[in-house]
Each structure stands twice: as C-alpha cells, then as structure tokens.
Amino acid sequence: MKTVLITGCSSGFGLLAAKKLAARGDRVFATMRDPFGKNRNAAEELVKLNIEVLDLDVTSESSVETAAETMEREGGAPDVIINNAGQMFVGLIEAFTGEELSNQLDVNIVGVHRVTRAFLPAMRKQSKGLFINISSIAGRLAIPFFAIYNASKWAVEGYSLAARRELASVGVDVVVVEPGPFTTELFPQSPHPQDTEHRAKSYPDVFNETFEDMNSAFEGMFSNPEVPTDPAMVVDKFIELIDMAPGTRPFRNVVGVDLGVTERNASDEVHDAPFLEAMHLAKFVKLQTN
C-alpha cells in the first residue's frame, strides 16, 4: 500500500486517480480548493469511498503548508505526490494582461513548487518518494493561442527535469506525464483573456476564424471513439509509474495523441547524459535507492 497525495481532485484526472488508487488499496489524500463549498459534491463523493479529503489551494502558501502538516500528522510522509492541479488559459498573447499571465503561472508552475517544497522535507527524511508532475504535450510543442499555457507547461518540464537530477541523490524520484487532448473539464473551463481593451478585434479575421476552427477540431476529436481521449489512460499511466521499481522510471511519459512528442523526447534523451558529463554532474543522474 502506498500513501498518495493528489492535487486538483475536484474533477478530471485527479478525481479519477483518487478513486482508482483507493480502490486498489492505496491510502489516498485527495486535495482540492474549498471542499466544503464550491467543490462539496466531489469531496463528499470521495469521502464516501473512505478517501481522505484535504483543503489545499496550490496558489496559497499557507494552504499548502497546512495540508502538509495535516498529512504528516495523520498519514506520515507521502510515498507519492501527483501534482495534477492546473488550468489552461487560451487566447491571443496580446489580449492577456501581465496579471493574467501571472495567474496562469501561479497555478501551473508556482503551485507545483509550493507543493514540492512543503512535502519534500518529510520525503527526504525517509530517503524515498515519487513526484508525478502533470505536464502536457503543450510543454514540448507551441502553437498559436496557447502561448500562455505553453509557457507554464514548458516551465513544468524544465523545473521537473532539474528537480529529478537534484533529488536523485536523496532517493526522491521526479517524472512528468505529458497528456495529449483528453475529455476532462480542462477544455470547457479554459479561461480566456478579459481583453478589456479589445485588442483581439484589431487582428485580421483569419485569427478569430482559425480559433473557432480549432475549437471545432477539438470537439470532433473528443466525439470520435477511435481517438485516444479517455482520461482513464492517464490514470493508468500514474499507476504504472507508481508500481515501477525506483530507478527504472522514464522521465517523460506521453499519453494519448502525441503529435510527434514521443520522437522529440527520444531525441532529447540522447543529449542529456553527455551534457551532464560535460558539466561534471554525472553523479546526479542515477536515483539512489535503499
């Protein structure tokens, strides 16, 4: 049995992962914002399954630290943390304000750091543990209208790879899962720029037409049973990674529609080891196991 903490369990991958991990016998701490208010239905659903629910807002330092203290007191150090909480801001770059960009980064990358920093001391103390950070194929590619989201997920990739090297010597593993498009609440709840200055309207019509065509393409993908968009695939990848022996887990793990990202990842791996050798950092490559 593993002790697993998951962020963003009010819907999507997080909710499904909490259920599947608990069903197989793991002790799950499912976290979300406002479990007694906005997300009460999801929280009650999980509690009925004997899953422990914690109030955790990844954008709040005090909320994350309180959750870490509660978990350590009631469940000890986590064996696995799944940094799943996230949002996807979509729209023209110029239409987003600096504050909106900051909000995207605060959830998707600063939130990952807050959680990592809060729970890492207990994991280092036991000299083992696993962080599964949710990236995206958008963390390896970049396309129009997704620049704000791309920035956050490319940041997750860089942060996680450096953390993997840094924490290998203390026995803590770090991997990323890179989902393609999936039928979760991420797309329907995507924030768009408020654009109070109406900057998008000054762009040629082709921009708005292309944006609408892209939305239609995603809807067609989600309605096509032959396209791999079932969220259970991502949760199965979580379980596969959790069950792998420490030191054998691949860093990048693509799930679903990959748009060539698998090949791109393989190319990068060829250059990783020589780079670390050149920087005299080869000792940080191998995960130390008990």
DSSP code, position 88:
-
Examine the residue annotation and report whether 10 is marked as an active-site residue of this protein.
yes
The counts of H helices and E strands in the chain are: 9, 7
> Choosing from 135, 136, 152, 160, which is the catalytic residue?
135
With beta carbons less than 8 A apart as the criterion, state whether 168 and 211 touch: no
Examine the residue annotation and report whether 60 is marked as an active-site residue of this protein.
no
> Choosing from 128, 149, 152, 237, which is the catalytic residue?
149
Written as one string, the DSSP assignment of 117-138 is HHHHHHHHHTT-EEEEEE--GG
Nearest residue to 234 (alpha-carbon basis) of 12, 58, 28 = 12
> Choosing from 63, 152, 153, 159, which is the catalytic residue?
153
In the Cβ-directed half-sphere of 139, how many Cα atoms lie within 13 Å?
A: 28
Residue 228's SS3 state is coil
Instruction: Name the residue with tokens 């697993």.
Output: 4
Instruction: Name the residue with tokens 């979580």.
Output: 238
| Cβ atoms within 10 Å of 112's Cβ, excluding its own | 27
Beta bridge partners of 177: 134, 253
With beta carbons less than 8 A apart as the criterion, state whether 82 and 134 touch: yes
Examine the residue annotation and report whether 201 is marked as an active-site residue of this protein.
no
> Choosing from 10, 63, 136, 152, which is the catalytic residue?
10
Encoding tokens for residue 162? 């450096």
Nearest residue to 168 (alpha-carbon basis) of 79, 287, 280 = 287
Bridging pattern class, strands 27-32 and 3-6: parallel
Distance CA 170, CA 186 (A): 34
Q: Where are the beta strands (DSSP E) in 72-157?
A: 80-83, 129-134
Examine the residue annotation and report whether 2 is marked as an active-site residue of this protein.
no
* Catalytic residue ranges: 10, 135, 149, 153
